[in-house]
């Protein structure tokens, strides 16, 4: 089985890039299962019903979110859609779900969404203790387990790699919008990369307009962020899983 994980969609430019490129990637790489992080899709923060409906028309199996899950009020109208996941370690009782099991190529594929706690400015439960509970449950119910760890600190993501190695098939990081060059297959056959990157404006500061971003750093004034324009880039990673033991046997970054 081939799993395609695509980095955070940023704005309409990113959404358009995904729409025009996805079918080419699926055909070229013989993709079976697709996970996309969608938390920055609408205006760079959150997800509207209009944009979610556009995403649903594409052959994508699961959408993960992050610190901007509640960025658009629309989300409360569709947060319970089985294809949409919000961080599992959000406070108990909030709408939505943090994981789901999907059927693909005679396999049960579980996708888990987690959020980090280091420099994220989001009150959340401990992702390490929570993942223990989830993995204990899902290892009995799913053949393949995929984890999107939406976190700022590379150290937190790398620590998670060692913590769940051998208990999940794939762990990838999202949130920083910069694709890392550390893809690997761990000792126990788990596919890992610290960050997938983003799907959004290429000439930008992680998706935002360059001049406004620079002004914030130069003056320390609260300049309003603006989405960048121009050509787009699509970042992601392809994980090829051995159908016999459900371990990753090949991993490759993509950049379109």
Catalytic (active-site) positions: 68
Rounded CA separation 35/236 (Å) = 10
- Asked if 201 and 10 count as a contact pair (C-beta separation under 8 A), the reply is yes
Place of tokens 């159908």: 243
Rounded CA separation 18/54 (Å) = 11
Of residues 5, 33, 14, 3, the one with CA closest to residue 204:
14
Of residues 109, 114, 60, 127, the one with CA closest to residue 85:
114
Rounded CA separation 180/193 (Å) = 7
């Amino acid at each position: 089985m081939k799993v395609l994980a695509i980095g955070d969609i940023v704005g309409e430019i990113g959404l358009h890039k995904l729409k025009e490129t996805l079918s080419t990637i699926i055909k070229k790489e013989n993709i079976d299962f697709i996970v996309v992080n969608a938390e920055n899709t609408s205006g760079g923060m959150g997800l509207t019903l209009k944009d979610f409906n556009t995403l649903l028309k594409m052959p994508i199996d699961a959408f993960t979110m992050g610190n901007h899950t509640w960025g658009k009020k629309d989300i409360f109208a569709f947060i319970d859609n089985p294809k949409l996941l919000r961080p599992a370690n959000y406070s108990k009782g909030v709408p939505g779900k943090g994981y789901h099991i999907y059927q693909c190529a005679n396999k049960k594929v579980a996708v888990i969404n987690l959020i980090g706690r280091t420099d994220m400015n989001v009150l959340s439960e401990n992702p390490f203790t929570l993942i223990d509970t989830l993995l204990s449950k899902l290892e009995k119910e799913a053949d393949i387990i995929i984890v999107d760890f939406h976190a700022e600190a590379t150290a937190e993501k790398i620590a998670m790699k060692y913590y769940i190695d051998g208990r999940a098939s794939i762990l990838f990081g999202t949130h920083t919008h910069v694709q890392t060059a550390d893809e690997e297959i761990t000792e126990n056959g788990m596919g890992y990369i610290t960050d997938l990157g983003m799907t959004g404006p290429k000439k930008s500061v992680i998706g935002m307009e360059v001049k406004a971003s620079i002004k914030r750093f130069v003056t320390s004034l609260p300049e309003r962020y603006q989405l960048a324009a121009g050509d787009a880039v699509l970042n992601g990673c392809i994980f090829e899983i051995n159908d016999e033991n459900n371990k990753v046997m090949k991993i490759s970054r993509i950049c379109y």
